[in-house]
Amino acid sequence: MRQGFLVKLLVSVLLLLSCCACGYHLEGREAAVTERPRLYVELFANDTHRAFANDVLTVQVIERFARSPLFSIVENPAQADLLLGGAITLYDTAPIAYSQTDTISAYRADLAVRSTLRRPGAAREMVWRGTLSTSQDYTGNNPDLVMQQSAERLANDLYVQVTDALFWSGGK
């Protein structure tokens, strides 16, 4: 008797999952995939001395927004509903701690970006603009890793700001 109950439960769960996975949606509502704005991420400008910082940040921003169920990333700005871009305005490292032998034992890296989200077309309506920054203390001598981690943090912060402006603050 217990085995029959388990079979019925398994069949019920599989039936429920198959209904959810087949694209079924309530009448009068489009599927969520078609409601996602198409986003084009422009190559960020680099107004700093750090070579390729803009490449690292742009890749992190694209990866962060691509993981989101709220956006669809496009490769052509002509296909986009929204354009996201900006410039890295600050990248700086400075020593913050010294050892007993007076050698540098820790650094602080600062990264800042000015960014805009706008609609394409002649009007280029501004949806959101802001400046974000992050600081990170590190030891060792791997500034590339620190740049990567700082860019990832800024991409996450940028994602939060943009989604807040679009979906939660009435900017849609």
- Given a cut of 60, whether residue 25 has pLDDT beyond it is no
Q: What is the pTM of this model?
A: 0.75
The pLDDT > 90 percentage for the chain reads: 67
- Given a cut of 50, whether residue 29 has pLDDT beyond it is no
Least confident of 2-16, 54-68, 143-157: 2-16
Q: Provide the number of structural domains found in the chain.
A: 1
Assigned domain for 159 exists: yes
CB-based contacts of 116-121 (< 8 A; 24+ apart in sequence): 116/84, 116/85, 116/86, 117/82, 117/83, 117/84, 117/162, 117/165, 117/166, 118/82, 118/83, 119/81, 119/82, 119/83, 120/40, 120/77, 120/78, 120/80, 120/81, 120/82, 120/83
- How much is the pLDDT for 10? 53
- How much is the pLDDT for 163? 94
What range does the domain containing 118 cover? Answer: 37-168
Assigned domain for 53 exists: yes
Assigned domain for 133 exists: yes
Assigned domain for 85 exists: yes
pLDDT band at 30 (very low <50, low <70, confident <90, very high): very low
- How much is the pLDDT for 59? 98
Return the CATH number at 52.
3.30.160.150
